[in-house]
């Protein structure tokens, strides 16, 4: 599909870029026009926003979701010892 | 809110060691470096404990010290190994589009509810798995941006890259993770639903 002036590949790049900086006016309009007509790029955009949202939640709930690892007993006692020397 | 008081440093390792270690390991992926980071964090906290104002919890305070240690570590790595992923990595995004720039592997309908997703431990395991498929620098750029919430200026500063490098790296990381989640999570779930 080649809607408006940008193709899907270009639109995906600009959609990603728009999450990191404010795009110039013509690009914003170009994306919007393309998305109105392209189901797949609209999906793609929703999916990136979802990825952003869940990643942020991941960062704030790290302790709940990471498969928990623990310091080894050796590391634990080494760190304690080093702290006592200071 | 009650003011938070600092606890006896001798109890820190048992109270916060595992949490900080998880935090460091999820970003550094190297167990012995992560252990060193935790140790350095406690030592720095020991020196600075006079400055702990009790405005945050001890754990938050220790985590912020650890964050700085991790960023310093990345800075140092970027100085010592200025490898440019953009040149060396093959750009797999080419495979997703035809020569006219239209989708060849079209995004499927995920039908996802973000609130439900964040409660699913399996989902995080898949996401971590997708992150581990990326090159280290791409994964790092993605983590700094989306998980730690840094902006591109800060990331450029840490990784010693230009803003346009940052946008391209994040684009490639997102494309790869999106596709990986689609294959490993959403398509599988869609298949389960239809049967």
For chain B, list the domains and their CATH numbers: 9-80 (1.10.1740), 85-194 (1.10.10.10)
> Is residue A86 one of the residues assigned to a domain?
no
Looking at the predicted structure, is the pLDDT value of residue B52 above 90?
Answer: no
Tell me if B171 sits within 8 A of B95, measured CB to CB.
Answer: no
Looking at the predicted structure, is the pLDDT value of residue B55 above 50?
Answer: yes
Tell me if B20 sits within 8 A of B70, measured CB to CB.
Answer: no
pLDDT band at residue B182 using 50, 70 and 90 as cut-offs: very high
To test the contact with chain A by mutation, choose from B8, B19, B103, B113 the residue with the greatest count of A C-beta atoms within 10 A, namely: B103
Backbone φ, ψ for residue B131 (5° rounding): -65, -35
- Check if the interface score ipTM surpasses 0.95: no
For A4-44, write each residue's pLDDT tens digit.
589 999 999 999 999 999 999 999 999 999 999 999 999 99
> Is residue A85 one of the residues assigned to a domain?
no
Q: Which residues of A touch B190 (CB under 8 A)?
A: none
> Is residue A31 one of the residues assigned to a domain?
yes
Q: Which residues of A touch B114 (CB under 8 A)?
A: 50, 53-54, 57
SS (H, E, C) chain B: CCCCCCCCHHHHHHHHHHHHHHHHHHHHCCHHHHHHHHHHHHHHHHHHHHHCCCCCCHHHHHHHHHHHHHHHHHHHHHHHCCCCHHHHCCCHHHHHECCCCCECCCCCCCCCCHHHHCCCHHHHHHHHHHHHHCCHHHHHHHHHHHHCCCCHHHHHHHHCCCHHHHHHHHHHHHHHHHHHHHHHHHHHHHHHHHC
Q: Mean pLDDT in chain A?
A: 86
Q: Which residues of B touch A48 (CB under 8 A)?
A: 174, 178
B19-30 mean pLDDT: 85
A78 interface with B at CB cutoff 8 Å = yes
B173-184 mean pLDDT: 92
| CA proximity to B158, closest of B169, B195, B191 | B169
SS3 A82: helix
Q: Which residues of B touch A65 (CB under 8 A)?
A: 121, 124
> Is the torsion defined by CA of B139, B140, B146, B151 positive or negative?
negative
Nearest residue of B to residue A74, measured between CA atoms: B35
pLDDT band at residue B114 using 50, 70 and 90 as cut-offs: confident
**Residue B113 has what pLDDT?**
78
A12 interface with B at CB cutoff 8 Å = yes
To test the contact with chain A by mutation, choose from B15, B43, B129, B167 the residue with the greatest count of A C-beta atoms within 10 A, namely: B167
- Tell me how many domains chain A contains: 1
More confident: A2 or A71: A71
**Residue B89 has what pLDDT?**
53
> CB–CB of B13 and A80 under 8 A?
yes
> Is residue A72 one of the residues assigned to a domain?
no
A21 interface with B at CB cutoff 8 Å = yes
> Is residue A75 one of the residues assigned to a domain?
no
Q: Which residues of A touch B108 (CB under 8 A)?
A: 43
For B65-113, write each residue's pLDDT tens digit.
999 999 888 888 777 766 555 554 556 777 889 999 999 989 999 887 7
Which residue range forms the structural domain that includes residue A63? 8-67
> Is residue A78 one of the residues assigned to a domain?
no
**Residue B139 has what pLDDT?**
87
A68 interface with B at CB cutoff 8 Å = yes
């Amino acid at each position: 599909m080649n809607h408006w002036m940008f193709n899907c590949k270009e639109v995906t790049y600009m959609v990603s870029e728009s999450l990191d900086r404010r795009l110039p006016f013509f690009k914003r309009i170009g994306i919007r026009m393309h998305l109105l007509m392209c189901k797949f790029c609209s999906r793609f955009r929703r999916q990136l926003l979802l990825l952003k949202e869940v990643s942020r939640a991941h960062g704030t709930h790290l302790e709940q979701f990471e498969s928990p690892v623990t310091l080894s007993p050796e590391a634990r006692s080494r760190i304690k010892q080093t702290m006592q020397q200071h | 809110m009650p003011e938070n008081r600092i606890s006896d440093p001798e109890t820190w390792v048992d109270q916060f060691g595992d949490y900080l270690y998880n935090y460091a390991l999820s970003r550094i992926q190297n167990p012995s470096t992560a252990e060193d980071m935790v140790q350095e964090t406690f030592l720095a906290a020991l020196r600075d404990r006079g400055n702990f104002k009790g405005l945050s919890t001890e754990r938050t305070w220790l985590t912020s010290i650890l964050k700085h240690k991790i960023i310093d570590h990345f800075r140092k790595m970027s100085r010592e190994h200025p490898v440019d992923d953009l040149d060396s990595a093959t750009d797999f995004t080419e495979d997703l589009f035809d020569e006219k720039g239209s989708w060849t592997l079209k995004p499927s309908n995920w039908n996802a509810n973000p609130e439900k997703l964040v409660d699913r431990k399996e989902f995080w395991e898949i996401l971590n798995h997708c992150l581990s498929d990326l090159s280290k620098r791409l994964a790092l750029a993605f983590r700094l941006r989306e998980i730690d919430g840094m902006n591109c200026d800060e990331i450029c500063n840490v990784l010693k890259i230009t803003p346009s490098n940052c946008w391209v790296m994040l684009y490639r990381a997102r494309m790869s993770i999106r596709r990986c989640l689609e294959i490993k999570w959403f398509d599988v779930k869609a298949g389960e639903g239809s049967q």
